[in-house]
Structure 1
Amino acid sequence: MTIFEKIIAGEIPAKIIYQDDLVAAFNDVNPQAPIHVLIVPKRVIPRVGEAVESDQSTLGALMVAAGKIAQQLGVSETSKGFRLVINHGRDAGESVPHLHVHLLAGRELGWPPG
């Protein structure tokens, strides 16, 4: 069971800032920006490259949730903005084998990212 499954099940405390039938979102414990939210599907998809056709509604729900959360946090205006990141594999920075979207905001984010 991944740490995200334990958070979703309430076994590990976390402040859930958004939740619907398919996804949950909470603040990252090691934030890389003033706003750093993890948006996680409730059903485990190990990583984006392992998603299958039946995961389409869940993948779409992650993106819709990201927009709602950005609006809720006041960063959805183009003058402010936010970044979405999905890591796939160890070399890309993946640390939990449970697909999740990082929403980063609250400061100017450089490009290229890293």
Structure 2
Amino acid sequence: MDCIFCDLKNKKMPAQIIAKNKDFFAIFDINPKAQKHILIISNRHAENFHDYFSKNPENFKSFIEITNSLIEKYSLSESDAGYKIICNSGEKAGQSVNHFHAHLLSGKIGNWQV
């Protein structure tokens, strides 16, 4: 199976990992849609949010922990811009990589605030 996120996790491709825990790692998106655009990626390959958490509900705590650590690290809760956490599931919902990941976005996107 060819999966860019599996390749990043397995160090087959270079990546600047900005946070990690036992279940997830985080990187800056290489094509950011906001001033801050972070990808939170599962270590285990799963197609989407439902596929991942229906098989690993205990990992939701780990997801919240890494997300909160990034919010704190980059002072997003104190930012006037605010932030969004987005999980696209399926091509029609905008998912472009079939490996569970979430987008943590903050700042301006075009003419509107996140």
Q: TM-score range by the shorter chain?
A: 0.7 to 0.9
- The TM-score, its normalising length taken from structure 2, stands at 0.86
Alignment-derived partner of residue 92 in structure 2: 91
Matches within 5 A, 1:1-114: 1-51=2-52, 53-77=54-78, 79-107=80-108, 108-109=113-114
Answer whether contact 2:19 2:26 (CA < 8 A) is retained.
yes
Task: Give the Å deviation of 1:11.
Answer: 1.0
For structure 1, the residue ranges without an aligned partner over 5 or more in a row are: 110-114
Aligned residue type for 1:2 = C
Partner AA of 2:96 in structure 1? S
Does the CA-based 8 Å contact 1:44-1:99 persist in structure 2? Answer: yes
Match of 1:112 in 2: none
**RMSD of the TM alignment (CA)?**
1.6
**SS of structure 2 residue aligned to 1:51:** helix
In structure 2, the CA distance between the partners of 1:14 and 1:79, relative to structure 1 (3 Å rule), is same
Counterpart of 1:83, as a letter, is K
Q: State the AA in 1 paired with 2:24.
A: V
Alpha-carbon distance, 1:99 to partner: 0.6
Structure 2 unmatched ranges of 5 or more: none
Between 96-105 and 71-80, the greater mean CA deviation after superposition:
71-80
Q: Distance in 1 between matches of 2:52 and 2:44?
A: 11
Letter in 2 for 1:58: N
Moved more, 43-52 or 7-16: 43-52
> Could you tell me how far 1:6 is from its partner in structure 2?
0.5
Greater CA drift, 60-69 or 39-48: 60-69
* Structure 1 residue 78 displacement after superposition: 6.6
